[in-house]
Amino acid sequence: MTKSLLLDTNNQNILAAAKQVLTYNTTSEGIIIPAQGLYPHQVLWDSCFIAIGLSNYNLKLAQKQILTLLKAQWLNGMIPNIVFSPGLRYWLDRHIWRSRIAPQSNPNFATGGITQPPMLAEAVVRIGNKLTTSKRKQWYRSVYPALLAYHEWLYIERDPKNRGLVTLIHPWETGLDNTPPLIATLRHQHEPRWINLVTRLKLDKLADHIRFDAKYVDYRQRNSTIEALSLYAALRRLRKQKYNTQRILEKPPFAIEDLTYNCILIRANELLSEIAKTINETLPPLIKNRIIRAESSLDQLWDNDQSEYFSRNFTWDSFIREPSIAALLPLYSGAVSPLRALELVKSITSFENKGVNFPVPSVPPDSSWFKPMGYWQGPTWINMNWLIIDGLKRYGFNRQAELLTRKTLDLVGNNGFYEYFNPLNGNPAGIANFSWSAALAIDLIMNTKATEL
């Protein structure tokens, strides 16, 4: 048997269609936005996933996505979740965030006032792996100072208890906006009276039909109106404190040591170390220490009672025992023992017995929260599958990785590049022509084992 480097016909069609989606979502400035209409701005972790896909066929465009993000970096090292597009059309978006009120913001860019999962180092290395040795070093040197400043900011400002785990101050920072642990935490905080009034008067039912996002997506596939209002209220409280972490954490509207984010950061630290080694730079003790402590830090989020990983409430120092896909992200971190990794793999395969034909659901189907088309409360997301597949490969679970890859490509091959999918029957949901679904499909195809003939 010989191995062919040719892709099968179906994969060739997926590749061609995926590239068309990325071209469709490219702005005149060369930035690829998440999707036309609903998501018109550059978004941090979206751009990282997009760059990973682009690295397989357009390195310069991939680099541009990263370099543009880094240009908007705040003076304190934070890389914001959103870089707003220019023009009067988006005045309201910029005004809602008002990043200019923060003394440490970048005066040259209108941005969000919080961050998002730190996928930058992964994207930088994926691009670097496609470059010659000399160009790789040049690329790494061009981004290393900004990357290092970002990682240092995370631990200086967001790890006040010196646990090796960073604290998030808004659900949007996790990227998994309305997963059960996040909404449960918001509900336990003191909500503004006006939200309680909206609930009592059932005004949210009226708002369901006039929401901005309802112009593009069925509102039943999004955050509920009450969830959206709670998320906005939490943002207002951050803005009132001018996005000052120290002041915010004195009485936070929301503060958790998020499992997903910290798993991604642990992996990002390892990749940052790889970048530094390549260009003969020495990581500062702060980052070295966090790399050494990675496994023990993550172990703090393991609940012996339920034999599962959970996020932890920063204020009350207690686990947020609500189910979500975050429990599987330690695979991506690479910081858990092979035995514990095996337990996580078993939980993935168990979904087959729960009616899940297209894993991995963002919430287990036996959860009371489960909504198969409900944004982050049930659907399968291509980016989460990509993270899990990457972790499976690095732990040597190649058969499971190949199976999940095929299931993932079946979703986009049969339905197109939607934002997310029903894990039970594969039906598409969210907005169409979603960039990271297209970009990561490209990456999965280009890095799948060659077909045996």
pLDDT digits (tens, 9 = 90+) for 410-452: 999 999 999 999 999 999 999 999 999 999 999 999 998 543 3
Per-residue tokens: 337: 């023992």
Q: In total, how many domains does the chain have? A: 3
User: Quick one: CA dihedral 70, 76, 77, 83, positive or negative?
Assistant: negative
Tell me, yes or no, whether 178 lies in a domain.
Answer: no
| Last-in-domain residue among 217, 235, 251 | 251
- Residue 121 and residue 210 share a domain: no
Question: Residue 8 — very low, low, confident or very high, per pLDDT cuts 50/70/90?
Answer: low
Does the structure show a pLDDT above 80 at 190? no
Q: How far apart are CA 431 and CA 216, in angstroms?
A: 7
**What is d(CA 146, CA 153) in angstroms, rounded to the nearest whole number?**
10
Chain position carrying tokens 């918001």: 186
Asked whether residue 442 falls in the same domain as residue 385, the answer is: yes
Indicate the pLDDT class of residue 187, thresholds 50, 70 and 90: confident
Regarding whether 389 and 321 lie in a shared domain, the answer is yes
pLDDT for the residue numbered 192: 76
Side-chain-side CA neighbours of residue 28 (13 Å): 3
Burial of 23 (0-12, 13-18, 19+ CB in 10 A): exposed
Confidence at 202, pLDDT banded by 50, 70, 90:
low
Identify each DSSP E strand in 55-108 by its residue range: 82-83
Question: Do 280 and 402 reside in the same domain of the chain?
Answer: yes
Q: Are residues 160 and 100 in the same domain?
A: no
Q: 36 and 89, same structural domain?
A: no
Q: Which of 173, 390, 419, 443 is catalytic?
A: 419
389 compared with 202, residue with greater pLDDT: 389
For residue 137, being part of any structural domain is answered with: yes
**Residue 348 and residue 203 share a domain:** no
The pLDDT of residue 451 is 38
pTM of the model: 0.95
- Tell how strand 302-303 and strand 318-319 pair up: unpaired
- Of the candidates 177, 257, 270, 322, the residue annotated as catalytic is 177
Whether residues 312 and 442 fall in one domain: yes
Is residue 68 in some structural domain? yes
315 CB-side CA count, 13 A: 13
Do 213 and 285 lie in a common domain?
Answer: no
* Domain encompassing residue 206: 190-251
Judge whether 46 counts as a catalytic residue.
Answer: no
- Tell me the torsion sign for CA atoms 129, 135, 137, 142: negative
Same domain, 396 and 428: yes
Checking if the pLDDT of 208 tops 80, the result is no
CB 266, CB 335: distance < 8 Å: yes
Whether 85 contacts 13, CB under 8 Å: no
Whether 177 is catalytic is yes
Q: Which of 144-148, 205-209, 269-273, 425-429 has the lowest mean pLDDT?
A: 205-209
Q: In the listed set 251, 285, 301, which residue is the last one of a domain according to the structure?
A: 251
Indicate whether 135 and 107 sit together in one domain: no
* 405 plus 427 within the same structural domain: yes
